Structure 1
Amino acid sequence: MQSNLSIIILAAGAGTRMKSTLPKVLHKISGKEMLYYSIEEAKKLSDDIHVVLYHQADLVQGTMEKYFDDVTYHIQDHEKYPGTGGAVMGITPHHEKVLVLNGDMPLIEADELKQLTSNEHSPEARDLKLTMSVLDLKCADGYGRVIIEKGKVTKIIEQKDCSSYELDITIANAGIYCFNTDFLLENLPKLSNDNAQKEYYITDLVEIAVKDNHSIKPVYVKEENFKGVNSKYDLAQAEVIHQNRIKEQFLKAGIAMRLPETIYIEYGVTIEGETILENGVTLLGNSKICNSHIKTNSIVEDSILENSEIGPMARIRPLSILKDTHIGNFVEIKKSNLTGVKAGHLAYLGDSTIDEGTNVGAGTITCNYDGVHKYKTIIGKNVFIGSDTQLVAPVTIEDNSMIAAGSTITNDIKSGDLALSRTKQKTVTGFFHRFFKDKK
């Protein structure tokens, strides 16, 4: 963390091109809002973080406060001072440098931002008032162009204002700046809204610095990392990049994946040990997976798996803990603790605790909800549960007991007992032939 650096994150825009009632910066990538990533990376660099809001400010601030408790929020005076320059007005950074980020750049990384913020000790750096990020592209269409002469920025031109010669320039503005704080505060009042949009632009500070003979250092950055998100299409592209980063880290750490491009892992998931993820697996929330095998098209959400195997096509819902357990196809677990359990197929186990050696037959369900309250099912060790059993909670099944197939259990079962509840089977001799003879 740099002791001399403040950071301002611009997150005031409505994001109309997203075509959504949700503020742009709250759209999610890999399970977290875009603004979350900007703040998280900023906190790796500075202890003085300012976020500028306007559109649905209360919603944006309330969402971020669930994650961060040491960020300062500002409401832009959008009526009087619209635009990126107006967004920075009225903020007093605590440190001698200030980095200005955008809340819709979820792929930025602190390590690369350090190139813009690192301390300069050379004689040439004494007059350095501004460092800006630039891209060297094959085609800069859609970007503002940057003119660089003798290693210094001399001009920024919006694409709509470019001459035919300037349109051929491939050095583009990546949109992130690091200012000397004194320079920023001194020159913000000089910004004008004398333009077609009637807005105050932070890019005009570049022109001011050039006129005052101040140095402006360009820092070349990766286009992928500085990708802005302005539409649902951009959002989808950014998420693919972010997912590839997440999976690359796990693959390098020794996690096995079959067809990783089909796997979805949210930011915050932990995977350890000899874990195998098959194609189509989805891992959500703050799940922790250790030494487990998750088979095709299974979902794990906010749960813990240790030395377990689930799937294919199983669903582990939030607040479940599975240890040394086998969960087969079409089994759903919710808010349950299972240790050393086998549930091979077609079962629902919710609000339950099940101990080692227990076998859950196909079609078994815990009836845990009466329409008003949820109730627990407690199952001990070495319990054999026959197929198509309904366990009506609250109910306790003690160790070393059995339940016959097709039973509905409403009372506790003592250790060593067999429980069954069936109507007596009735057989009508010769009914088949009489029935179809009558139909003919």
Structure 2
Amino acid sequence: MLSVIIMAAGFGTRMKSTTPKVLHTICNKSLLEYVLDAALSVSKDVHLVLFNEHAKIKAYVESKYENTLKDITFHLQNHNETPGTGGTLMKKDRSFLDIKGEKVLILSGDTPLLEGFELEGLSKVKSPIVLSCFKIDDPFGYGRIKEKEGKISIVEEKDASEEEKAITLVNAGLYCFDKEVLKTCVPLLKDDNAQKEFYLTDIISIAQDKGYKASLFSVKEENLYGINTKANLAHAQDLMLKRLRKKWMEAGVIMNMPDSIYIDSTVSFEGECILDSFVSIKGKSVITNSHIKQSSVVVDSKIKDSDVGPSAHVRPNCEIESSHIGNFVECKNAKLKGMKAGHLSYLGDCEVDTGSNIGAGVITCNYDGIRKHKTLIGKNVFVGSDVQLVAPVTIADNVLIAAGSTITKNVKAGYLSISRTNQTDIENGFFRFKELKSKS
């Protein structure tokens, strides 16, 4: 059995935030969720080690992983007794944590670009100790990997000589150990260093001195990119977006100016879809056989066999099917089927049925200052421009509503509804107005 330990006990001070580092998000998922998803794809024995803001992080994980919570064990690291990355692996008595698997993967909770196939590959290397590594032109900040007389060692940046600093093979921070190695070596870790911490990397030298063999496993630099600052967070999101765009374009989605398009990792596409430039698709939206036009935003909604935009805003809980939603139309909690809203309308808390047409400037007045109310519009309804539909109100099938009307009562099937004040025309009114204005 394979076990996974995720280190998420750090303070994340460089994030300069009250939010725990691992709960910061990229593409609508927390850093920790990406790591947990990768871990759970290869193991049913995942151990999450926490310290800073542990209660908040634990509650968050419990809310997101209800179905797989049985596979996750929480540990609280005592930084006063067992500080450092090596301390993450220790119980209070400094013995190794209780782990089921005979192989143990050790990950960091701030590497959201990590993928399950790399964990699987690392775990299958036949060696008691496996270190991940990659080559990089500028290795500044990374621990350098040295190989000498069949042994592997890691030299940290601050301890490296000028010759060692020139080494371009670096430690990626992802490890796999036989449990026997950890049970033997973790209790031997010492904190006799400037930081007075237990270092995970010390296990490698201790184990090799005891005769255990260490091996290297190459990974992609991008996939082990860690987050320490908000600049890192932004860069990681850019990398994730490139991955998501590629995934969906290879699945058949057309993207015009793809680098300008934002997609959450929780979004899905079905059938043939087109996304124009500067489109944002967020939340758990599902887009099916639809065209989302330039600069439109879709959030937590379902759109099928429709076109939306340009510059439309589909807010949460909309279901749009076989419809045309035009430029500068805003929808919220709207069920729209087989209808048209060409431009400049607000359709909130409403249902509009097939064959209906919503004119420019139409507003469903859904909020009375205390509660939200619904507007129901039937089949083949024509709503003229600049109409206010004051909810709650029901418009039956085959209704015509005259432009400029304010509708406060239900309208029966087949009716024409008109609500306007009488127009008054004053002869020479223009000139009288100008004359009065010149005297003032």
Q: TM-score, normalised by structure 2?
A: 0.95
1:399 aligned partner, one-letter code: D
1:22 aligned partner, one-letter code: T
User: Per-residue CA shift, 1:333-371, capped at 9, x if unaligned?
Assistant: 001110011001111111111100000011111111122
2:192 aligned partner, one-letter code: D
Which SS does the other structure have where 1:349 is aligned? Answer: strand
In structure 2, relative to structure 1, the CA distance for the partners of 1:153 and 1:368 (3 Å cut) is farther
The CA deviation at 1:49 is 0.7
The CA deviation at 1:241 is 0.9
2: distance between equivalents of 1:33 and 1:210?
36
1: distance between equivalents of 2:77 and 2:435?
84
2:89 aligned partner, one-letter code: V
- Deviates further, 353-362 or 187-196: 187-196
User: Per-residue CA shift, 1:371-418, capped at 9, x if unaligned?
Assistant: 221111110000010111111111110000011111111111000011
Of the three residues 149, 155, 161, the one matched with 1:157 is 155
Quick check: 1:54 aligned with 2:51? yes
**Aligned residues of 1:11 and 1:51 also touching (Cα < 8 A):** yes
1:353 aligned partner, one-letter code: E
2:224 aligns with 226
2: distance between equivalents of 1:99 and 1:439?
83
2: distance between equivalents of 1:434 and 1:409?
35
2: distance between equivalents of 1:281 and 1:68?
30
Which SS does the other structure have where 1:21 is aligned? Answer: coil
Which SS does the other structure have where 2:32 is aligned? Answer: helix
2:94 aligns with none
**Aligned residues of 1:332 and 1:349 also touching (Cα < 8 A):** yes
1: distance between equivalents of 2:121 and 2:324?
49
Of the three residues 195, 198, 203, the one matched with 1:197 is 195
1:79 aligns with 80
Quick check: 1:115 aligned with 2:114? no
2:134 aligns with 135
| Percent sequence identity over aligned pairs | 47
- Deviates further, 422-431 or 33-42: 422-431
1:199 aligned partner, one-letter code: E
Of the three residues 205, 213, 216, the one matched with 2:214 is 216
1:169 aligned partner, one-letter code: I
The CA deviation at 1:119 is 5.7
1: distance between equivalents of 2:268 and 2:42?
24
2: distance between equivalents of 1:50 and 1:428?
82
Of the three residues 243, 258, 273, the one matched with 1:275 is 273
Quick check: 1:106 aligned with 2:120? no
The CA deviation at 1:111 is 0.7
2: distance between equivalents of 1:137 and 1:66?
38
**Aligned residues of 1:331 and 1:345 also touching (Cα < 8 A):** yes
2:8 aligns with 11
2: distance between equivalents of 1:153 and 1:272?
51
User: Per-residue CA shift, 1:223-280, capped at 9, x if unaligned?
Assistant: 1111111111111111111101111011111111100000000002111222110000
Which SS does the other structure have where 2:252 is aligned? Answer: coil
1: distance between equivalents of 2:412 and 2:73?
59
1:113 aligned partner, one-letter code: L
1: distance between equivalents of 2:12 and 2:359?
52
1:271 aligned partner, one-letter code: F
Of the three residues 93, 99, 103, the one matched with 2:99 is 93
2:104 aligned partner, one-letter code: V
**Aligned residues of 1:153 and 1:218 also touching (Cα < 8 A):** no
2: distance between equivalents of 1:24 and 1:74?
18
1: distance between equivalents of 2:200 and 2:273?
48
The CA deviation at 1:163 is 1.6
1: distance between equivalents of 2:80 and 2:358?
64
**Aligned residues of 1:25 and 1:34 also touching (Cα < 8 A):** yes
1:284 aligns with 282
1: distance between equivalents of 2:116 and 2:426?
78
Matches within 5 A, 1:394-405: 394-405=392-403
In structure 2, relative to structure 1, the CA distance for the partners of 1:115 and 1:148 (3 Å cut) is farther
2: distance between equivalents of 1:103 and 1:397?
54
**Segments of 4+ in structure 1 off by > 6 A?**
none
Q: TM-score, normalised by structure 1?
A: 0.95
2: distance between equivalents of 1:371 and 1:156?
64
Which SS does the other structure have where 2:86 is aligned? Answer: helix
Which SS does the other structure have where 1:366 is aligned? Answer: strand
2: distance between equivalents of 1:232 and 1:409?
50
The CA deviation at 1:439 is 2.8
**Aligned residues of 1:356 and 1:381 also touching (Cα < 8 A):** yes
1:51 aligned partner, one-letter code: L
**Aligned residues of 1:146 and 1:153 also touching (Cα < 8 A):** no
Which SS does the other structure have where 2:38 is aligned? Answer: helix
2: distance between equivalents of 1:115 and 1:292?
38
Matches within 5 A, 1:392-431: 392-431=390-429
1:360 aligns with 358
